[in-house]
């Protein structure tokens, strides 16, 4: 009987110890009983598939699929799970040059449209045009891909090929085989508008050196006597918020530029110390202007330091981080939203222009640029 009691005591002690251990781990991981049951449900399902599915299974693929499903369930097009291949590609593409075909794409209503084609690139050589709609990448319909997957699918190692199925209005869908090349994207380009004392700066994206490049171009224009500035942010998909802030500090008056607010309520403020803007500013925007572009335009609009000309912008008012996981993969996750100086969140809505102008290039004339010049001259007239 003593031996039986001892065995029973040992068994009970083991159970209690196990339960205590589980309770400690649940506390460390922040799990309540419902989350603990969900974990049991998850691993139970995984184990059932491994033992009962008719063919062999790959544990890593099952876990990858589960993580991907979790991220997709958020319904956020900017949050995505990246397998080893996609994660490696993304890391390579942050270096400033990459293997690609030289096109800028817009994503709206589940459509992927080419909005511009860079000169001297595989896209131009193949005959791709602005307005073409990409239907498939390497045989996979774009309707089955998230925007990030489309981009990473088209980019790749220099010298490799990518197949695109393209729809052009009034024509049958056509297949293109393009060989990726190194694409160097100029970040900032400035010039004096011919026959005027107006300056023009085009910002293609907010890359690592954009702030420095903008300062240099702005100084050149000031030295040439510019009295007003047009900042062209059309088809600028955004980029680094730090570079955007560097640019903003050259044109936005003293005060708030943008606020980044996390789920917890934690807030990060970016401010300008510029006592007074040097000159009137007009910003050009379109449906392809997103993220950091909208931060700059929103700050200029809210502070009264600039007028926005064009059409409604894209409406990406969120911040993402890339989190590496433990298998050379990772996730890109939306972790915050940004707010303009007046407290506006433009996520999903975009920036409404002060002066609406739809693009027309009839006769080789950029109608939006002409409208920007007109508005800027009016601003200068009011200042005189």
Q: Which residues are catalytic?
A: 291, 302, 316
Could you tell me how far CA 152 lies from the centroid of its own chain?
A: 13
Contacts of residue 30, defined as CB under 8 A and 6 or more positions apart, other chains included, come to: none
What DSSP character marks residue 362?
G
d(CA 41, CA 30): 17
Beta bridge partners, 177, equal 163
Cα separation, 243 vs 174, whole angstroms:
39
The H or E element that residue 183 is part of is strand 181-184
Gap between the Cα atoms of 219 and 173, Å rounded: 47
Please tell me the distance from the alpha carbon of residue 41 to that of residue 130, in angstroms, as a whole number.
49
Residue 361 dihedral angles phi and psi, to the nearest 5°: -115, 25
Could you tell me if 246 and 211 are in contact, meaning their C-beta atoms sit under 8 angstroms apart?
A: yes
């Amino acid at each position: 009987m003593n031996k039986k009691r001892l065995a029973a005591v040992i068994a009970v002690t083991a159970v209690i110890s196990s339960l205590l251990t589980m309770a400690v781990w649940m506390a460390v991981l922040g799990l309540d009983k419902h989350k603990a049951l969900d974990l049991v449900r998850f691993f139970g399902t995984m184990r059932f598939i491994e033992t009962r599915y008719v063919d062999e299974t790959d544990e890593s693929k099952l876990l990858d699929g589960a993580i991907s499903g979790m991220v997709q369930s958020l319904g956020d097009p900017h949050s995505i799970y990246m397998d080893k291949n996609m994660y490696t590609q993304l890391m390579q593409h942050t270096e400033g040059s990459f293997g690609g075909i030289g096109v800028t794409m817009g994503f709206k209503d589940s459509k992927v449209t080419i909005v511009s084609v860079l000169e001297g690139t595989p896209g131009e050589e193949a005959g791709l045009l602005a307005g073409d709609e990409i239907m498939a990448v390497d045989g996979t319909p774009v309707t089955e891909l998230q925007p990030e997957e489309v981009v990473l699918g088209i980019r790749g190692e220099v010298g490799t090929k990518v197949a695109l199925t393209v729809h052009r209005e009034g024509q049958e869908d056509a297949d293109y085989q393009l060989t990726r090349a190194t694409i160097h994207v100029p970040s900032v380009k400035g010039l004096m508008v011919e026959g005027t004392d107006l300056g023009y700066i085009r910002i293609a994206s907010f890359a690592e050196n954009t702030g420095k490049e903008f300062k240099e171009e702005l100084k050149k224009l000031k030295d040439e006597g510019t009295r007003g500035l047009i900042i062209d942010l059309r088809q600028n998909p955004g980029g680094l918020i730090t570079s955007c802030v560097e640019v903003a500090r050259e044109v936005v008056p003293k005060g708030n530029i943008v606020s980044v607010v996390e789920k917890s309520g934690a807030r990060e403020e970016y401010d300008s110390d510029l006592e007074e803007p040097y000159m009137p500013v007009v910003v050009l925007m379109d449906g392809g202007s997103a993220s950091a572009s909208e931060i700059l335009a929103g700050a200029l609009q809210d502070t009264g330091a600039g007028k926005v000309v064009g059409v409604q912008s894209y409406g990406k008012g969120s911040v993402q981080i890339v989190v590496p996981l433990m298998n050379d993969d990772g996730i890109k996750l939306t972790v915050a939203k940004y707010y303009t100086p007046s407290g506006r969140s433009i996520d999903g809505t975009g920036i409404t222009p002060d002066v609406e102008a739809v693009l027309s290039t009839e006769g080789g004339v950029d109608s939006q640029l002409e409208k920007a010049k007109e508005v800027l001259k009016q601003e200068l007239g009011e200042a005189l």
